[in-house]
Structure 1
Amino acid sequence: MLAASLPLGAAAQESGALRIVLPFPPGGATDMVPRNMQDVLSRLLGQPVVIENKAGAGGSVGMTEVARATDGLTFGVATLSTHGVNPAVYKKLPYDAVKDFVGVTEVVKAPGVIVINPSIIPVKNFAELVAYLKAHPGKVSYATPGNGTIGHMWGAQFIKSTGVDMVHIPYRGAGPAVNDVLGGQVPVYFDQVASSLPHVKAGKLRAIAVSWSDRLAVLPDVPTYKEVGHPELNDPSWFGLVAPKSTPAAQVARVQKAVAEALKDPAVKQRMDAQGLFVSGTSSAEFTQQIASEVAKMKGVAAAAGISID
């Protein structure tokens, strides 16, 4: 075991590359976060950092693989979906979000956004969208990165809060979902800002509202949900790193320290800022407690929204 007091460069004593499992397909905000800091993290740790996409079942496939790893080198990108929503909505989940993992650190907070394809739905703001949906009950579909994802929860909360009737279309990740919204197959999309931001900037999608305390610098003309009268929809998502429960404490501390330093790197922070992501870098104890709190909170949200997946 590596002593916790050793410098990051002492990673030469470790064997093999550090493996980070991404439980969703390429192309979404989940994919961007670890790749934004991959090179810097590798330099700080003194060993290769390999990122692998292991998608399926709302992130459950990848997270199950992380939970079962015993090499001390496997970590996973945890999200509000994998470590909040999934335990709340799946009746049979092959991992326990609290008991099977130790939190390493929260990496970023990720504001959410509702976007539309303006060529399909001719609305310009939140009030017009709600009016349009109420005029076409059950006729408009919305895309999310999948059943049991935070996008699914955001969509369900939006429907309950506004009193509209929409049809949920789950995808296998943010990339496939946004592609179909761009293509016009599905007109409305709920996900993190980072996934849709390039398409909003290009004028292909229109952002209607964001879930954040204030307007975002990257979308200054887009109101928050609180501004449009729905403060209950204003909670953002988050991304962090977790490790299997069996991972040595010194290894967890070592990686947490490296991530905290990586997030201070100007180039890393600039990339995160440009994508509408807010760097964090909490302690292992703080993130572990956060996960437990989020699971409890999302169980309440899922029960209120009537979301349950076999």
Structure 2
Amino acid sequence: MERPIRFVVPFAPGGSGDMIPRMVAPSISELLGQPVIIENKAGGGGSIGANYVSRSSPDGLTIGVATVSTHCIFPAVSKSAPYDPLKDFVYVSNLARVPNVVSVHPSVPASNMREFIALIRDPKSNLSFGSPGVGSLGHMMGELLMQQTGGRMLHVPYRGAGLALQDAVAGQVQVLCDNLPASLPHIKSGKLRALAVAWPSRVTQLPSIPTFGELGMADLNGPAWFGLVAPARTSSAVVDRLQKAVAKALARPEVRQNIESTGAEPVGGTAMAFSEDVRAEYAKWKRVAEIGKISLE
């Protein structure tokens, strides 16, 4: 039997970044005729696992799970990031994407984004927004929202998305930028009020809520995503073989259904398309960090 391929997940087990690769791995293993195992290397907001992949042998046996946080935001806000997202990896394929949503506590006197923007532009406003931590996607979305509207909110960083969501539901912070699957139950129950979603079109679960694109805020309309990368210098033949297996795996109805059950949408696509998307997203968040003077140092 051939040596196994390791999918290095830079997060602890249980979240979307861990669940989605596990749903795809068995089909990829079958298609390649080669074992595929999941290895979790959590820590540093995903940077420890990403750095491990960047320093691994480019033999096609160590593949990393990449997210917007690990490959676009962390390198944009950390002057001492141990890896370069554009030079130290080759991009294989996007796996799936997830909508993001901006929501508020029901006590906030804004029923839509127009009213909310007017509120945060008011010098007397003292709204706060929670995030999973400095330099997280939730933090950067909040910063970009302020930069695009001229509004102000107080950023309250938490040690993880769950704690930020918990305090938003309790009203300890009034605003939250989060992935939709986590926030949706609280939006449905009325404990949070959704204002806008980051997605190409309105989501079926919230048909009355506009996208940021509809609101003329295209930079905020990007979803969260989960993809596969390999160390730089991995051969194009290896990347092509894996990319084709990913595409075939994501075309299987049972794999698609499993991914969709998490609130995500299967993506797939070419290595070049994924690479170009990451390059553009990295540039966007680097601008946000520079304008907002956001740094982990």
Answer yes or no: same fold by TM over 0.5.
yes
Among 265, 274, 290, the alignment partner of 2:252 is: 265
Distance change >3 Å, CA 196–CA 76, structure 1 → 2: farther
- Give the aligned partner of residue 24 of structure 2: 37
Inter-partner Cα distance in structure 2 for 1:202 and 1:32: 25
Paired residue for 2:74? Answer: 86
Q: Is the 8 A contact 2:122 2:151 kept in 1?
A: no
Per-residue deviation, 1:47: 4.3
Does 2:109 correspond to 1:115?
no
CA contact (8 A) 1:36 1:271 kept: yes
Q: Which residue of 1 aligns with 2:179?
A: 192
Q: Which amino acid aligns with 1:296?
A: A
Give the distance between the partners of 1:25 and 1:173, measured in 2 at CA: 12
- How far did 1:173 drift? 4.1
Residue 233 of structure 1 deviates from its aligned partner by 2.4
Q: Which residue of 1 aligns with 2:272?
A: 285
Distance 2:245 2:223 in 1: 25
Change (3 A) 1:200 1:265: farther
**TM-score normalised by L of structure 1:** 0.81
Contact 2:11 2:40 (8 Å CA) reproduced: yes
| 1:95 Cα deviation after fit | 0.8
Letter in 1 for 2:269: T
Q: Give the SS at the match of 2:28.
A: helix
Superposed displacement of residue 197, structure 1: 2.9
Determine if contact 1:28/1:175 at 8 Å carries over to the other structure.
no
Tell me what 1:7 maps to. Answer: none
Equivalence for 2:289: 302
Equivalences for residues 171-186 of structure 1 within 5 A? 171-186=158-173
Opposite residue 83 of structure 2, the aligned amino acid is Y
Secondary structure of residue in 2 paired with 1:280: strand
Partner amino acid, structure 2, of 1:24? F
In 2, the alpha carbon distance for the partners of 1:77 and 1:265 equals 20
Shift of 1:264: 0.8
Q: Helix, strand or coil: the match of 1:115?
A: strand
Most deviating of 44-53 and 221-230: 44-53
Cα displacement string for residues 38-94 of structure 1 (whole angstroms, at most 9, x for unaligned residues)? 443343344443334433333212211111222642222212222222222211101
1:95 and 2:57 correspond: no
Which amino acid counterpart does residue 62 of structure 2 have in structure 1?
T
Ranges in structure 1 where 5+ consecutive residues have no aligned partner: 1-11
Equivalent AA in structure 1 for residue 112 of structure 2: N
Q: What is the identity, as a one-letter code, of the residue corresponding to 2:187?
A: V
Please report the TM-score for the alignment, with normalisation by the length of structure 2: 0.84
- Once the two structures are superposed, the pairs formed by residues 135-214 of structure 1 within 5 Å of their partners are 139-214=126-201
**1:211–1:235 Cα contact (<8 Å) kept:** yes
Residue range with higher mean Cα deviation, 71-80 or 269-278: 269-278
**Distance in 2 between the 1:261 and 1:235 partners?**
25
1:23 is matched with: 10
Between 202-211 and 27-36, report the one with greater CA deviation. 27-36
CA distance in 2 between counterparts of 1:293 and 1:133 reads 28
SS at match of 2:129: strand
Whole-Å separation in 1 of the counterparts to 2:51 and 2:194: 34
Q: 1:149 to 1:262 in 2, by over 3 A?
A: same
Q: Which runs of 5+ in 2 are unaligned?
A: none
Q: What SS does structure 1 have at the residue aligned with 2:209?
A: coil
> Which is worse superposed, 275-284 or 147-156?
275-284
Q: Which among 192, 213, 227 is matched to residue 240 of structure 1?
A: 227
Give the aligned CA root-mean-square deviation in angstroms.
2.9
Asked if structure 2 preserves the Cα contact closer than 8 Å seen for 1:24 and 1:173, the reply is no
Distance 2:232 2:61 in 1: 12
Among the aligned pairs, what percent are the same residue?
48
Aligned-partner SS, 1:299:
helix
